[in-house]
Amino acid sequence: MKTTKKKFFLMILFAGLVSVVVCMMAVSSILRTDQIISDEETKVVILKEHTVIPSRSSSKKENDAANKYYFEEKIYSHEKIKIKYPQIHDLADEQFQKEVNQMISEFVLQKAGELSFKTEYSLEYQVTEQTNEMISILWKGIMNSPEAMYPNGILYTLTLDLNENKILSLRDLEDLDEVTDSLIECADLPMYDMNGERISKDWQSEIEAYLSEYKHKKLLEELKQFDLSVDKEYEPAGYSYFENGKLHICISVPHALGDYIDIVPDRVKNIVIKNS
């Protein structure tokens, strides 16, 4: 009987030891897993060390009940870099909305990733066209790098065709030839600086002289390389956007002439977008 009790006690003791060993192995495994997660999180912080701050949301357009979509403003902030950008909500085509928001986010991260931590970079946006057919977004800002002699104006645009659910570029216009001629023969066209102010007469004369040196074919080919490309097949030569139904073309010019000049080729009437 004593022998049986002794064996029973030894069995319980052995089972207890096994349980302790199993628990210790489990704890060790958990600790190692936590360490791996911690290391991965640290890597993410190092690779993407920035703050994205959810900010205000625009109200839905009150004067157009058919406009269901709205914009949520976000801010990328890191070191001396500050970029404001929108995310679009409630578009009819959810897949297109996802693609556009992803493109905007990637564009912001790409621009931030290209900058030195010593570079001052500030970029703000404005929704210049918001209808049931089209959205146009204009970014303007300043970049001042340690190597630069002076700050440079920066500008980007993005236009969406909500009928075809695609991102538009200037080459999608049917009358791009006419736009080209209008820019070369640009006397008295409305022209604005990067602050949105109408440029002076003398300044405009210099811009007109600069554009008049272009040949039609050369300028046409440049205009076909305008605007952000979904497939990123080219570096944009300039940008375009719409405001109140009018086409605006932002020509890159030497810094002495203002970095970018915003021109409204208003001789071109009834802008038509090519069908897919």
Q: What is the pLDDT of residues 103-125, one digit of tens each?
A: 999 999 998 998 887 899 999 99
pLDDT attached to residue 37 = 27
Considering the chain, what is the average pLDDT of its residues?
79
Collapsed DSSP state (helix, strand, coil) of residue 191: strand
State the average pLDDT over residues 196-205: 93
pLDDT attached to residue 42 = 26
Q: pLDDT (tens digit, 9 = 90+) per residue, 219-265?
A: 999 999 999 877 666 789 999 999 998 999 999 998 888 999 999 99
pLDDT attached to residue 21 = 45
CA separation for the pair 158, 103 (Å, rounded): 10
Q: Which residue spans of the chain are classified as CATH 3.30.565.40?
A: 36-168
Q: Kindly report the backbone phi and psi dihedral angles of residue 275, in degrees, each rounded to the nearest multiple of 5, phi listed first.
A: -75, 145
The helix (run of H) or strand (run of E) holding residue 137 is strand 134-144
Whether the pLDDT of residue 53 is over 90: the answer is no
Whether the pLDDT of residue 12 is over 80: the answer is no
pLDDT attached to residue 229 = 74
CA separation for the pair 200, 205 (Å, rounded): 9
Where does residue 202 rank: exposed (0-12), middle (13-18), buried (19+ CB within 10 A)? exposed
Rounded to an integer, what is the distance from CA 12 to the centroid of its chain? 66
Which residue type is seen at 171? R
CA separation for the pair 109, 77 (Å, rounded): 11
Who wins on pLDDT, 95 or 7? 95
CA separation for the pair 270, 245 (Å, rounded): 9
Q: Kindly report the backbone phi and psi dihedral angles of residue 55, in degrees, each rounded to the nearest multiple of 5, phi listed first.
A: -120, -140
Q: pLDDT (tens digit, 9 = 90+) per residue, 17-41?
A: 545 444 444 434 333 333 322 333 3
CATH architecture of the domain with range 36-168: 2-Layer Sandwich (3.30)
Max CA separation in the chain (angstroms): 116
The helix (run of H) or strand (run of E) holding residue 250 is strand 246-252
Who wins on pLDDT, 59 or 230? 230
